[in-house]
Structure 1
Amino acid sequence: MTTSPAARAHSFNAVAAQYAENRPSYPPALFDAIEELAGHPLTGARVADVGAGTGIATALLHARGADVVAIEPGGGMAAQFRRTLPDVPLVRGNGNALPLADHSLDFLTYAQAWHWTDQVRSVPEALRVLRLGGALALWWNTGAVDVPWIAEQSERIRIHFGIDRVVAENGNGLHTALADPTGRLDFAHRQVRWSRRVPIDTHLANIGSHSAFLVHDEESTNTFLADERTHLLTAFPDGTVEETYVVELVVALTP
């Protein structure tokens, strides 16, 4: 695909409601792992969730007891966030120039979002806003490709959309998460496996909310989704899909 990263990043704003309704959440074990790797709890911690989107991760951080502020650049996503989480602070901005004070945070989190930053700028910004011993936590829900139907679907998506990695914003390929040209971060890595059962329509709306689909020709995308429904009904004749994910988590502590 030749669409620019900026166009892909902004493509979510037009489908914010679809994104909020159909994208998967994250399991409690993920936040247990974040706390373990950080060496301190989320409860009572000052947290900024960057690229917060519609608030899927922000809501879970808030429920964990964190004092969390969301940072989101996109107008459509921010509007959906405010409808979903009206009591959680939201600031418009991005990870390349964080609208936050120096050394003010215990955690800086990016759920499905670090790869949209310019790490030459976002790494120094992370180190600026985190306190000594603070934690930068990056994570992505990735499809469990050891599950045959997921591997087959991933290959169909790769071929149809002509991309090297299926749904690049899902962080497939850990090198995406570890991109740090400054050499200043030392990441620890964990994987958290989980699954959810959803109707076929929800699954199709989920994958259709990824940028590879959103920036592609609409007719071609709709054709793919119609064909994919046929494949899914063969694999799941009762109409319920079991999506299996591996959350790729990396955490770095400020030196």
Structure 2
Amino acid sequence: MSSPLRARAFDTAADRYAAARPSYPPALLDRVEECAGRPLNGARVADVGAGTGIATRLLRDRGARVVGVEPGPAMAARLRALLPGVPVVLGDGNALPLADASHDLVTYGQSWHWTDPARSVPEALRVLRPAGALAIWWNTTAFDVPWILAQHRRIAEVCGVEPQSRVRYGDRDAVRRAGLSGLPVTRHQMRWSRTVPLGTHLANIGTRSAFLVLPEDVRRAFLREEGARLRALFPDGTVEETYVADLLVATRP
């Protein structure tokens, strides 16, 4: 579970988060439907840690009857502004403000690591209807792309954190680390990319929680230096970001 200070930092960057953070590949929601054993169209879905609604929008566009659950007031306000037809409630995954057996699917896009699985797993199971599903996913780093690996290490250094391991966990370890051991779980990994202006890429870096809590002068200096490096690599001013979307879907016993 990550620090509360870092979790609260997102509220200071809600507009940048909405503008710069990547979405997810269409295949991811295809796999969610496949693993859940039902279409999203018409399903009652709770998108927890919804942020500014990146995953919420995708779920809504698939026809889901989705509610966003978000702990940050500024992030929730941005979500409401961007998706005015979607209900949004303040709350987090450790104590969901939702009724028992009220939803077909509970989702966590890029947010499960902010919870305590000892609390969030029972909460998700409580909210799910019989045969419902819990889907959690992340856009993870494509370490086999040299410039992405080098940048990852520079970001970790400036933030004072350990770089992530380049070795991807096997399915059993991924399930255990997510706190889902003992449940029927299916895992899918999907490689995808997006091409964005350099400014959007730098803004995306600037929305990372460990980066947001740094002093402003440190953040500005890092982004200025990183921009110079990337302009040399991408002289046309566009950057291809590559990700591996990692999805775990657990069905309610």
Give TM-score, length-normalised by structure 2. 0.93
**Contact 2:32–2:249 at 8 Å: present in 1 too?**
yes
Deviations 1:207-253 (A, max 9, x none): 11010110112211211111111111111011100011110111100
Give the distance between the partners of 2:60 and 2:179, measured in 1 at CA.
31
Task: Note closer, same or farther for the CA distance 1:183–1:189 as it changes in structure 2 (3 Å cut).
Answer: closer
**Contact 1:119–1:179 at 8 Å: present in 2 too?**
no
State the AA in 1 paired with 2:35: L
Correspondence for 1:45 among 33, 43, 46? 43
Helix, strand or coil at the partner of 1:192? strand
Corresponding residue number in structure 2 for 1:19: 17
Task: Note closer, same or farther for the CA distance 1:178–1:219 as it changes in structure 2 (3 Å cut).
Answer: farther
Structure 1, unaligned runs of 5 or more: 167-171
Corresponding residue number in structure 1 for 2:134: 136
Q: How does 1:224-235 map to 2 (within 5 A)?
A: 224-235=222-233
Give the distance between the partners of 1:131 and 1:31, measured in 2 at CA.
20
Give the distance between the partners of 1:193 and 1:61, measured in 2 at CA.
20
Corresponding residue number in structure 1 for 2:189: 191
Task: Note closer, same or farther for the CA distance 1:233–1:16 as it changes in structure 2 (3 Å cut).
Answer: same
Correspondence for 1:28 among 21, 26, 29? 26
- Is 1:246 the counterpart of 2:244 in the alignment? yes
State the AA in 2 paired with 1:185: L
Q: How does 1:137-156 map to 2 (within 5 A)?
A: 137-156=135-154
**Contact 1:50–1:109 at 8 Å: present in 2 too?**
yes
Correspondence for 2:95 among 91, 94, 97? 97
Deviates more, 1:228-237 or 1:154-163: 154-163
State the AA in 1 paired with 2:210: A
Corresponding residue number in structure 2 for 1:63: 61
Helix, strand or coil at the partner of 1:11? helix
Correspondence for 1:9 among 7, 10, 17? 7
Task: Note closer, same or farther for the CA distance 1:150–1:180 as it changes in structure 2 (3 Å cut).
Answer: closer
Find runs of 4+ consecutive structure 1 residues off by over 6 angstroms.
none
Among the aligned pairs, what percent are the same residue?
Answer: 58
Corresponding residue number in structure 2 for 1:169: none
**TM-superposed deviation, 1:36:** 1.2
Correspondence for 1:122 among 120, 123, 127? 120
Give TM-score, length-normalised by structure 1. 0.92
Give the distance between the partners of 1:183 and 1:155, measured in 2 at CA.
31
- Is 1:158 the counterpart of 2:156 in the alignment? yes
Give the distance between the partners of 2:226 and 2:36, measured in 1 at CA.
40
Task: Note closer, same or farther for the CA distance 1:181–1:209 as it changes in structure 2 (3 Å cut).
Answer: closer
Corresponding residue number in structure 1 for 2:201: 203
Give the distance between the partners of 1:203 and 1:139, measured in 2 at CA.
21
**TM-superposed deviation, 1:165:** 3.8
**TM-superposed deviation, 1:45:** 0.6
State the AA in 2 paired with 1:92: L
Structure 2, unaligned runs of 5 or more: none
Deviations 1:9-44 (A, max 9, x none): 010001100000111111111100111111111111
Give the distance between the partners of 1:218 and 1:74, measured in 2 at CA.
21
**TM-superposed deviation, 1:87:** 0.7
**TM-superposed deviation, 1:148:** 1.1
Helix, strand or coil at the partner of 2:221? helix
Deviates more, 1:221-230 or 1:106-115: 221-230
State the AA in 2 paired with 1:249: L
